[in-house]
Every structure is written in C-alpha cells, then in structure tokens.
Amino acid sequence: MDLDEKFAYMATGQPYRDTDAELTALRDQATLTTNAVNATADPETKETLLRQLVGSAGRKPFVNPNFRVEFGRNIHLGDNFYANYDCVMLDGAPITIGSQVLLGPKVGLYTSNHLFDATERIRGGCIARPITIGDGCWLAANVTVLPGVTIGANTIIGGGSVVTHDIPANVIAAGNPCQVIRPITAADRTGYTGAQFELS
C-alpha cells in the first residue's frame, strides 16, 4: 500500500497502525517544515513554506508560531486563514477549513484518536475522522475540536470549549462539552466599519 492509499484508508475511519514507518517519516518531515515556518518572520517565506506543508491553501494564509501539524497534507485552508499562537492540527484524516476563519491561541484540531482496547493501543492502533470548519468561524483561545466534528459557517466557539459533536452555523457555542448558547443576530452588530483607525 503506497502513502496515498494509506491516507485514503485512514480517512475511512478504520483502525490503522500509527507507528507505520512511512507515517513516522512524514511526521518527521512535517516537524522540520513547521520549524522553518515558525522560525521566519518574513511573510512571503512563511506563506511559501506553509503552502509546501499543507494539502491546499487559498489566498493569504497566516500562522503564528508555534504552529504544529501531524502530517500537513490532509489540511485544506480557505482564503485569509489565520491561526494565532500555538495552534496544533493532527490531520490523520482531512481537516477542511473555510475562508475568513480565525483560530485563537492554543486551538487544537484533533482528527486522530488512539484505540480504546489497551492491547490494540499498544500495537499502535489509531482511528481518524475528518474535521470541517465553515467560512467565517472564530474559535477562541484553548478550543479543542475532537474527531468527526463539523462546525457551521460564521459560528463562534467560546474559549476553553471542547467540541465533541457538530455545531450548527451562525451560533455562539461554548462549554465542555460544547453546547449552543444562542444564535448570532443583527443585535450583535456594533457599527464597526474597519475605518476607525484610518488617518484623515
């Protein structure tokens, strides 16, 4: 089974051997690339390296240090993606993120999980399920998203939340486990135009 076939199999949610030599080598390469991404302050160099790391990215992706991934190739970013400090993405299965998404400090997106049976876990058994985040979402600081979760467009996930199940679009949700608090409505608008700090 070649590497593409292995990743296709992993995306089915079936158990796989996490200690496979090819997967280990790809993790090591991803670590080297993320080290380079984190070490540079030059935006163009950072974007070039980030594009080499992930499966695909739209316009102007940006990550602050220390950004970490498991493989990188299973991560797909929309336009104007922004990750604040210490973001971690374990992409044993695809992580698909829409456009205009903001991730706060220490957000973790974890598609992979060890098997529950101790003997199988010791043998390196894992499973992975995709994570999808819609356009316009904001995940605040220390949010954890677990395998198989979809978060709908424009939704806000409150700081420190653990997202264990799907969250619909256009809501504020928070907690452990994360639950919908209320919809986002026109009453949440402040009149901000983006021009407040422009010089006359």
**Catalytic residue set:** 114
CA distance 109 to 107: 7
| Phi, then psi, of 168 in degrees rounded to 5 | -75, 175
CA distance 108 to 27: 17
Three-state secondary structure string covering the chain: CCHHHHHHHHCCCCCEECCCHHHHHHHHHHHHHHHHHHHCCCHHHHHHHHHHHCCEECCCCEECCCCEECCCCCEEECCCCEECCCCEEECCCCEEECCCCEECCCCEEECEEECCCHHHHHCCEEEECCEEECCCCEECCCCEECCCCEECCCCEECCCCEECCCECCCEEEECCCCEEEEECCHHHCCCCCCCCCCCC
Whether residue 162 contacts residue 147, with contact meaning beta carbons closer than 8 Å, is answered with no
